[in-house]
Each structure stands twice: as C-alpha cells, then as structure tokens.
Structure 1
C-alpha cells in the first residue's frame, strides 16, 4: 500500500548545494566539449588522410567510442589506467571518459561536415594564394562548423547528462554526486532526485535555447 510521505522542505533547503553541484556538472561538460571538439577535428582530418596509419588510429578511436558504453570508457580511465600505474582522480577520470566519447562522435559529425563543403571552395582559396592550412582554417572550418552546429548542440546536452556517471567512480561534487550524498544522509530519494532531474532538464533546455539563439545570430544570412 502506498504510504510514502513527501518532505520537500529539506530537499529545497539543500538546493544551494545542488546548484553548486550543477556548476561542476557544467564545468565538466564544457571542458569535455572543448577538448572533444579539438580532438574530433583532428580525427576527422586523419580519417581523410592518405596515410593508412592515421586512418587506422582515427577509425579505431571512433569505433571504440561509438560502439562501447560510455560507462566502460569512464571505468577504463579510472580503474583501467590505475592498473597501469596512471592514477586519475574522479574528476579527471570522468572528464577523460566523456572527452573520449565526445571526440569519437564529433569526429564522425565533422567528417560529414567536411564532405558537405564543396571541394571547389578549397581550389578557389588556393588560386587566391591561400596555403593549405589557411584554406582549411579560414574557408573550410567555418563552413563545416555551420553545417554541424546543431549536432554539436545535441552532443553538448549528451555530455551534460553523461556527467551523472561520475558517481560510479566516486565523484561527489557534481549534481548527481551531491544528490546521492544528500540521499544517503536523509533517505529522501524521490524528493532529491526529482529536484536533480528538474535541474538537469533546465540546464539542457538553457543550452538548447542558447544554441538556437547563437545559430539565429550567426547563420541568419
């Protein structure tokens, strides 16, 4: 028989702590995206390289990142590297795992974006005296990022949600970690995790709406 009594006041009183955890969540997600974008661009270029070893490294990264659970990738960063004498704390291990995952997905996204840029753009740039690197940096990359902007937004939201996996490697400073600590002390599971879910939803919606505003400003012409 349902006899659970809700007590929302303690959970609401803990909201400042949970908001501090939300800030850590955002820090991890943003860092993982910044690093993941940089690695993803390199991997996308490597996939199109004429050198087989570069293509092999990039393809292996993408295959592992996209076809194994993110949970396993975080475990490998925390426990697996520890077996090899490389000890990462919970924050860094979570960041490494999410970055690895982001880079793999973004590499495929960027590869599609690169294919969407007509080759004539590069030839035109070279005919105007641009070097290969400058043509890629100034002509190809802006068009590629425009083509993949919305998929990147989805990946950012996914990165935010993936930070919740930090609790399995002992991270207790992000939103899920703080919520779990509060739950252990009070056993008010429904109240705390309901509020945490609302905070995740709000963060994801802010990112999505912010991205729409940026896209409208940058790509309205």
Structure 2
C-alpha cells in the first residue's frame, strides 16, 4: 500500500466544512419541523372517519415510506420543472425531506395516539374541554412523550439523508466535501473528515434529546 495520507488540505478547508455542516443542520431542522407538523395532520387525517381526508393521507404515507428519498429529491428538483415549477436546490431538498419525514412521523404519531387510552380524551371532554383543547392539553403531550425517542431517531435520519442533497447541487456538508475532493483529489481524507463531522452531529443530537427528554419527562416513564 503506497497511499500517502495528506491531511493539510482538510485542515485548511475546515472553516468551509464547518459552514457546510451548519447548512446541513439548517436544512435538517427546517425539514424536521415542517415534517412534524405535516405528520401530525396526516395522523389525524388517517384516523378520520371521512374518506376524503383518509385516502389522500394514506397515499402520502405509502409513497413517502415506500420510495427512495433520492427519488423524492429528484421529483421535487427536476420532476416539478416539467410542469413549470422550478425550485432551488435548497427548497427542493427541504421539501423532499419534509415530505418523507411527514410520512414516517404520521405512523409514529399514530402509534403514540394508540398508546394513550381513549378514556383520557373522554374524561377531558367531560370536563368541558373542546376536542381541540382536549387533544392539545391532555392527549398530545402524552403522545410526544411516547414518540420522543423515535422522533429523535427520525431527526438523526434526516440529518444523514440530507447528504443526498449534493446530487441536487446543494452545498451542504457532503456537497462541500465533494467540491474539495474534486479540487484536491484527497478522497479518503475529506470523506473521512465529513464522516467524523456527521458522527459528532448525530451524537450531539442524541445527547441533547436525552437531556431535553429528561428535563421534560422527569419522573415519568418513557
């Protein structure tokens, strides 16, 4: 093995890689927030007695969960252009990740709602709360507690899947790594550094989620 490791270009590029890592986090956070909101709406729609609400939500969930994320990014970035709707790489990647996250979180939320006894909702309604108030104040907080760690895992998954954004021209961490690789041809060094950064981000997110979960649900079984 005659390969000579050369780490100086990586150290020189660390500021740019750090900025790209922030783009990765930004894309992931925005996608996750939108995905959580849409996932909750899809969950309610799938639990509805109305077919007009249930069927479109079911189609969304099935497509999101059973097609590759890369395919979804391509649809948002290139596919919509066939219909005259051109999205920037940033918006396309965020839209695709949010679309995918909503599908997965809809099923996660559905499991969370199933874990909360229906008597909780009935008791809240009997005390004079409206349906929305009962869900917002009584049911949803218990659902959040039940899905906290699956939701954290989903966020880590979104962070890792955001790396596919490089194929749509997004200069996030993987895109920036590929850019420097094409200029220096130090493939192993740059992608090893990127892998370490992804690993650290994922571990920090998991640690932060554990701390927040402990603070929010202290004394309550998770």
Deviation for aligned residue 1:151? 0.2
Which residue does the alignment assign to 2:174?
A: 176
Which residue does the alignment assign to 1:217?
A: 215
Partner of 1:88, secondary structure, is coil
Question: What CA deviation, in whole Å up to 9, does each residue of 1:29-88 have, x standing for no partner?
Answer: 000110000000000000000101211011100000000000000000001101110000
Which residue does the alignment assign to 2:108?
A: 109
Where do 1:1-221 residues align within 5 Å? 2-172=1-171, 174-221=172-219
Deviation for aligned residue 1:182? 0.4
Deviation for aligned residue 1:162? 0.7
Deviation for aligned residue 1:156? 0.3
Deviation for aligned residue 1:219? 1.2
User: Structure 2 unaligned runs (5+)?
Assistant: none
Q: Normalising by structure 2, report the TM-score.
A: 0.97
In 2, Cα distance between equivalents of 1:95 and 1:190 = 28
Question: What CA deviation, in whole Å up to 9, does each residue of 1:142-190 have, x standing for no partner?
Answer: 0111100000000000000011001111112x11111111011110001
Deviation for aligned residue 1:12? 1.2
RMSD between superposed Cα atoms in Å: 0.6
The runs of at least 4 consecutive aligned structure 1 residues that moved more than 4 Å come to: none
Q: Normalising by structure 1, report the TM-score.
A: 0.98
Partner of 1:40, secondary structure, is helix
In 2, Cα distance between equivalents of 1:184 and 1:143 = 49
In 2, Cα distance between equivalents of 1:169 and 1:220 = 42
Partner of 2:78, secondary structure, is helix
In 2, Cα distance between equivalents of 1:194 and 1:94 = 24
In 2, Cα distance between equivalents of 1:130 and 1:31 = 32
